[in-house]
Amino acid sequence: MFRLDGKTALVTGGGSGIGQAICELFGRQGAAVAVVDVQAGAAQETAARIEAAGGKATAHGCDVTRAAEVAAVMDTVVEKQGRLDILVNNAGIAHVGTIETTGEADFDRVIQVNVKGAYLCAQAAVQRMLPRGGGVIVNMASIASLIGVPERFAYSVSKGAILTLTYSVAIDYVKKGIRCNCIAPARIHTPFVDGFVKKNYPGKEEETLKKLSEYQPIGRMGRPDEVAALALYLSSEEASFITGQCYPIDGGVLVT
């Protein structure tokens, strides 16, 4: 079950954290993985890890906010592999602030990466999936798509857009063989989180990480591999009857 043999999967933000975990799991499950990241070196490192484990992978540096770069990477992947079956829209950034403390430049940057990036990648993927009869898109939303999260104004706005982007793509292409779902994680412990805490809460790292862990009623942050397992399921043939859905993975946040 949950094999991806013969499939080509493109994962954005694949150089670290959740994206890296998804890439490595997809590689173990038989997919040819296109690792895409704005940091080309990080993408190369993930691809090397997949190949060292016996999988197939290519690395691609790409700024997902630039349409020409996205199209070029998609074309390269299709030319090399002959197909694109799965897109995981995982690339994203965060920002701390309320509506009062969020500057215009910060707001624009979050929307550019989190929303425009997902739009450009999904658009390019759909255009390349349709001639082959379909494919799968998995978007990375957040519990911030579904509930209020304090001091995450711009991020929450962007992830709300990802939720409705998912619904829109799902309904427009349900008759054309493309499934589109999203994942809504609570806090997942990644190197990104550690860096985020260090930058925004200097001198209070331990206290902040403890607070972030306790936010989930289950008592800890999630792990990247747990999110990767859900992404694998949604990308597999076992999920062939599922589209237009949002799957929380939240340690009990939404039930409290």
- Is 155 known to be catalytic? yes
Measured distance CA(36)–CA(210) in Å, rounded = 32
The tokens of 4 are what?
């991806």
In the chain, the amino acid numbered 156 is: S
In the chain, the amino acid numbered 146 is: L
The tokens of 248 are what?
């929380």
Q: How far is CA 24 from CA 46, 51, 77, 208, 222, in A?
A: 7, 9, 17, 29, 17
Measured distance CA(226)–CA(201) in Å, rounded = 26
Give residues with Cβ within 8 angstroms of 12, minimum separation 6. 19, 36, 37, 62, 64, 87, 88, 89, 90, 91, 117, 121
The tokens of 235 are what?
């990308």
Give residues with Cβ within 8 angstroms of 68, minimum separation 6. none
Which of 155, 173, 215, 247 is catalytic? The answer is: 155
In whole angstroms, how large is the CA radius of gyration of the chain? Answer: 17
Give me the active site residues, please.
155
